[in-house]
Chains A and B, each alone.
Chain A
Amino acid sequence: MTPLQHYLVLSGALFSVGAWGVLARRSIIMVVMCLELMFNAVNIALVAFSNYANAGAGRGEVFVFFVLAIAAAEVAVGLAIGIAMYRLREKLDVDELDEMRG
């Protein structure tokens, strides 16, 4: 069987790609999308642990359900903020949305 570490390395790689995207891209929608990638990486790790752990099998999968719910809420609110910003400023650029800077 595939060792647990393989899945963890896959999860880490996906998380890094997501982090790269969050750091590199400008569009607020793109940032939200990359955050979703990082959520997915965490989900892979949770399911892998849940599947391989000796005790408490299934708990990791339960947590994935919570991650799914929170991710859906996060996307809805994040994109709504993005659209509201777009209406207000007509841009989606995270670099230029700096009204809150003191």
Chain B
Amino acid sequence: MHFSTPIFYLVSALVIIPAVLMVAMRNLIYSAIAMIACFIGVAAVFVTLNAELLAASQLLIYVGAISILILFAIMLTRRRSGAICLFFHRQSWAALPAGAALAVVLGIVLGSARFSAGSAPKNPSTANLASLLFNQYAFPFELASLVLLVAIVGAVLLAMRERRS
């Protein structure tokens, strides 16, 4: 067995265990921390797939920006509703079997699928990635920046407290 396989299982555990903990824990802040652990695990998965730039972007965007936003939102909304009382709702007993069924179906389908893929991973270099992103996908890239701009303006408008005159 090649040494990459045990590393893969280790890294998968780093992704899946925090993810399950995140859904199952009552306290929202702890859930958020489990989510951050899961994001770091996903960055590790990217490293095993030779995608260092993506791993760094994952840390930068998910751990550095999105998690911070979510933590801010949790802290801003905690006062009266409390983190503890928000838990499972009336139909959530059905959610676990549904999720498990989805996992089984996806596992069977994806695990048994045959792709016309090579067995050895290739190594798309950062330069290769950049030339793809800024030549062939330049227009979607610009569109993404527009979406981000609209999102910033929209978020500020939605979250801003209305000034009473």
Residues of A within 8 A of B (CB): 1-21, 23-27, 29-30, 32-34, 36-37, 40, 43-44, 47-54, 57-59, 61-62, 64-66, 68-77, 79-84, 86-87, 90-95
Contacts and interface: CB of A to CB of B under 8 A. Distances in A.
Given A13-B103, A58-B129, A90 B88 contact: no
> What does DSSP make chain B's interface, helix, strand, loop or mixed?
helix
Contacts of B144: 65-66, 69-70
B116 interface: yes
Given A33-B70, A71-B66, A16 B38 contact: no
Nearest to B48: A2
Given A2-B4, A76-B69, A77-B151, A17 B98 contact: no
Size class of B's contact patch?
35 or more
Contacts of A75: 66, 69-70
Given A16-B100, A61-B124, A84-B159, A29 B19 contact: no
Contacts, number: 266
Contacts of A8: 110-111, 113
Overall SS of chain A's interface: helix
A43 B121 contact: no
A62 B137 contact: yes
Interface of B: 2, 4-5, 8, 12, 15-16, 19-20, 22-23, 28, 31-32, 35, 38-39, 42, 45-46, 48-51, 53-54, 57-58, 61-62, 65-66, 69-70, 72-74, 76-77, 80-81, 86-92, 94-96, 98-100, 102-103, 106-107, 109-113, 115-122, 124, 128-129, 132-133, 137, 140-141, 144-145, 147-148, 150-152, 154-159, 161
Given A12-B110, A36-B62, A82 B77 contact: yes
B45 A7 contact: yes
Given A20-B96, A69-B148, A76 B140 contact: no
Contacts of A34: 22-23
Contacts of B20: 17
A76 B151 CA distance: 7
Nearest to B94: A23
A12 to B, nearest CB: 3
B45 A80 contact: no
A1 B99 contact: no
Given A1-B2, A71-B66, A26 B89 contact: yes
Contacts of A15: 102, 106
